[in-house]
Amino acid sequence: MTTDVDLPTAVSQKFPSATPRASLDCPAFNVPPGEILAVLAHLRDAQGYDFLMDLTAIDWTAEQAPRFTVVWHLYSSTKHTYVRLAADCVDAAAPAMPSSTGLWPGADWLERETYDMFGIKFDGHPDLRRILMWDGYPYFPLRKEFPLAGLPADLPDAEVAAETKAGLIAAPMAGGPFVATPGGPMGDAEPRAKDEAWNEQTEKPE
Amino acid sequence: MAADFSFPDTAAKTAANLPQEFDPEKMSLSMGPSHPSTHGVLRIQFELDGEIVTKADPVIGYLHRGDEKIAENMTYNQFVPYTDRLDYIAPLANNMAYAIAVERLAQLEVPARCQAIRVLTAEMARVSSHLMGLGAYGIDVGAWTVFMYCFEEREKLYKLFEELTGARFTTSYTRIGGLQRDVPEGWVQQVDAFCDQFLPILDEILSLLSRNKIFLDRTVDIGVISRADAIAYGLSGPNLRGSGVANDLRKDRPYSGYEQYEFDVPVGAKGDCYDRYLCRGQEMMQSVKIIKQVVKNFPGGDWYAKDARKIFAPPKDKILTSMEELINNFMIVTEGPQMPAGEVYFEAENPKGVLGFYIVSKGGGVPYRLKIRSPSFCNLSLLPKLCVGNLVSDVVSILGSLDFVMGECDR
């Protein structure tokens, strides 16, 4: 597997605040949020990392500080190598990060998705709206406290909701997938919501 | 008495419940989410000046199932069936990309035979995906015949998939550290026979379109993606190569033994719809070339990583006869394949583009975070720029040429 071996020294010389990050494959750096755009621009213009392949975030749960880490993956079409950058959001209650849409227009949708799923605001994004969920959805589903079964919410269309009196319900997962937690035994898994309306004793309602 | 049809624009706009930002002089048109040319549940909210698109806002998420959330709540092997449902036109390629990503996390190399089978299935999936894309594209621009030809060939491939995996569509063929099973006897020869009869038919299919006046009128110089745009928007696959960027991870960062095979990377010159069509056509030929090479030098030996005892479940006869293997199997099924803590990002060259998996592990059998970098999502992010200035009927042609799958875009 090929990696860019010269990159770690080049980046740490130019940006002393960028510290190496544990990684099993490509070079990776932890960068302070204030410097992330400068590092990204340097990698793109001086190091040949012309593709922004991926942009996402990790939620380390509400107990951890810092709670949210935003992760960028860049690819160089000349060196054929990757680099990973990570920046921690300072404020867990109102997480924010500078937007990289000025460097790559393709970051637009990726940042919208990260905002949609984690609630991280990207400062300077031209049109930060939800993208996979609908406008007005009250939760950020990839945050760790959001349960797998979902949470009750209103339907996106108020008119339909008023007409049908229907709403979103948490998905009953009886017979659904086994649910597990990372690093913990299966016994600690999130309990599955079971359909308690019928069992061996009481008949299945018609 | 003549009826009065002159409504004030603002009133008409309020009545139609249109977004406020649209210019009242212009017309608003919602295309999709259930429209034959949006290939799934893509919706595009257009602002039109006559028949020219002045603004396009894609609305996605109709097929969002929360795959990344689901992945955080199940073991690595349990997630394999969910990868089928990303790019459901080429599930075998997704299976392979996901398995390799997790194996990179475990720092595990699978044996040569396993790698060869994966390459074989991924290339067959590429042919089947491009056949589907080509047939559907033909229909989009008014050529029914191509669809019939393509689906006949695709059906032959699906018969082979069924024989190999037991399923035509949702194959779930890979496991972490190996495969669901070895290839059946005589199957590889059937694949070879398919390739032999397929090449002349492919020529015939392409000859139906490549010099077809109607097809040329609908595709040449339509939807031109410049090289700079293709890079800036993170395009990948034939959409990127159509714009003249010769990026192919199978060549640039070979995985699963791609370095042994000889093939070319077709690139376009202009980046219009026609170039993307040509790239897909040529890619199928290159895939067949790879398949022929795999079949010719089909390696023997193990088809799963035998030494990875905490990752790949032992074979059934061992489970039924040995206590230790039974316990081992039980642990792998209940606790999941055991992974070290760490982070990896792996991308594979899938039919639609570059499919990436970013896995954050805290150890154990369940990922802490799994991000799917979907090629269709990134390819579609160019739409607001690409549609503007085109006729609505050309948007149909552009969408077909991008060859996206909403299952993968929305995840």
Over residues B205-243, the pLDDT tens digits come to 999 888 888 889 888 888 899 999 999 999 999 999 999
Location of structure tokens 């894309």: B133
Location of structure tokens 């199957």: B187
Alpha-carbon Rg of chain B, whole angstroms? 23
State the average pLDDT over residues A64-80: 90
- Rounded to whole angstroms, how far apart are CA atoms B399 and A81? 31
Contact call for residues B85 and B170 (beta carbons, < 8 A): yes
Which H or E run contains A28? strand A28-30
Highest mean pLDDT of the ranges B3-7, B153-157, B385-389: B153-157
Residues B257-285 have pLDDT tens digits of 899 999 999 999 888 999 999 999 999 99
Helix (H, G, I), strand (E, B) or coil at A168: strand
CATH, range B67-307+342-410: 1.10.645.10
Name the residue ranges covered by the structural domains of chain A: 7-142
Q: Which long-range contacts (CB under 8 A, 24 or more apart) does B151-154 make?
A: B153/B127, B153/B198, B153/B201, B153/B202, B153/B205, B154/B128
Chain B contact set for A64 (CB, 8 A): none
- Rounded to whole angstroms, how far apart are CA atoms B134 and B92? 19
| Residue A45 in this model has a pLDDT that exceeds 60 | yes
Chain A: nearest CA to B5, how far in angstroms? 28
Whole-Å CA distances, A166 to A135, A156, A159, B250 = 18, 11, 11, 49
Helix (H, G, I), strand (E, B) or coil at B41: coil
Residues B116-153 have pLDDT tens digits of 999 999 999 999 999 999 999 988 888 888 999 999 99
| Residue A174 in this model has a pLDDT that exceeds 60 | no
Chain B contact set for A186 (CB, 8 A): 334-335
- Rounded to whole angstroms, how far apart are CA atoms B72 and A57? 14
- Rounded to whole angstroms, how far apart are CA atoms A68 and A97? 10
Region label for A138, one of left (φ > 0), alpha (ψ between -120 and 50) or beta (otherwise): alpha
Q: Which of B226, B345, B386 to mutate to test the interface with A (most CBs of A within 10 A)?
A: B345
Contact call for residues B42 and B410 (beta carbons, < 8 A): no
Beta bridge partners of B348: B355
| Interchain contact, A73 vs B358, CB within 8 Å | yes
Residue among B247, B369, B378 minimizing CB distance to A77: B247
Q: How far is CA B255 from the centre of its chain?
A: 17
Chain A contact set for B247 (CB, 8 A): 77
Closest CA to A113 of B173, B311, B377, B326: B377
Location of structure tokens 């079964």: A149
State the average pLDDT over residues B41-53: 87
Residues B295-319 have pLDDT tens digits of 998 888 888 888 887 888 888 888 8
Name the residue ranges covered by the structural domains of chain B: 67-307+342-410
Residues B145-164 have pLDDT tens digits of 899 999 999 999 999 999 99
> Any idea which architecture A7-142 has in CATH?
2-Layer Sandwich (3.30)
Q: Which of B21, B78, B369 to mutate to test the interface with A (most CBs of A within 10 A)?
A: B369
Interface TM-score (ipTM) > 0.90: no
Q: Which of A44, A56, A188 to mutate to test the interface with B (most CBs of B within 10 A)?
A: A56
Whole-Å CA distances, B45 to B15, B38, B57, B59, B177 = 17, 12, 5, 7, 44
Cβ-Cβ contacts under 8 Å for B271 (sequence gap 6 or more): B224, B225, B226, B227, B230, B242, B243, B244
Confidence of residue B11 (pLDDT cuts 50, 70, 90): low
Alpha-carbon Rg of chain A, whole angstroms? 22
Chain B contact set for A109 (CB, 8 A): 377-378, 380-381
Q: What tokens does B56 get?
A: 């396009």
CB-based contact, B107 to chain A, within 8 Å: yes
Chain A: nearest CA to B315, how far in angstroms? 23
Region label for A71, one of left (φ > 0), alpha (ψ between -120 and 50) or beta (otherwise): beta
Residues 353-392 of B with CB under 8 A from A: 354, 356, 358, 360-369, 371, 373, 377-378, 380-382, 385
Residues B330-373 have pLDDT tens digits of 888 878 888 899 999 999 999 999 999 999 998 888 899 999 99
CB-based contact, B70 to chain A, within 8 Å: yes
Q: Cα-Cα-Cα-Cα dihedral of A160, A161, A165, A169, to 10°?
A: 120
Q: What are phi and psi of B202, to 5 degrees?
A: -60, -40
- Rounded to whole angstroms, how far apart are CA atoms A30 and A13? 14
Chain B contact set for A80 (CB, 8 A): 252-253
Q: How far is CA B189 from the centre of its chain?
A: 26
Q: Cα-Cα-Cα-Cα dihedral of B357, B88, B134, B239, to 10°?
A: -20
Closest CA to A47 of A13, A22, A1: A13
Q: What are phi and psi of B193, to 5 degrees?
A: -65, -40
Chain A contact set for B346 (CB, 8 A): 25
- Rounded to whole angstroms, how far apart are CA atoms B54 and B48? 5
Burial class (CB in 10 A: 0-12, 13-18, 19+), A43: buried
Q: What percent of chain B has pLDDT over 90?
A: 40
Residue count (chain A): 206
Q: Flag whether the pTM goes above 0.90.
A: no
Question: What mean pLDDT, rounded, does chain B reach?
Answer: 87
Region label for B221, one of left (φ > 0), alpha (ψ between -120 and 50) or beta (otherwise): left
| Torsion sign over Cα B366, B377, A152, A197 | negative
| Interchain contact, B68 vs A58, CB within 8 Å | no
Contact call for residues B317 and B325 (beta carbons, < 8 A): no
Chain B: nearest CA to A202, how far in angstroms? 31
The confidence score (pLDDT) of residue A16 equals 83
Chain B contact set for A104 (CB, 8 A): 232-234
Q: Cα-Cα-Cα-Cα dihedral of A117, A122, A126, A127, to 10°?
A: 20
Give the CA angle between residues B106, B374, A76 to the nearest 5°.
Answer: 75
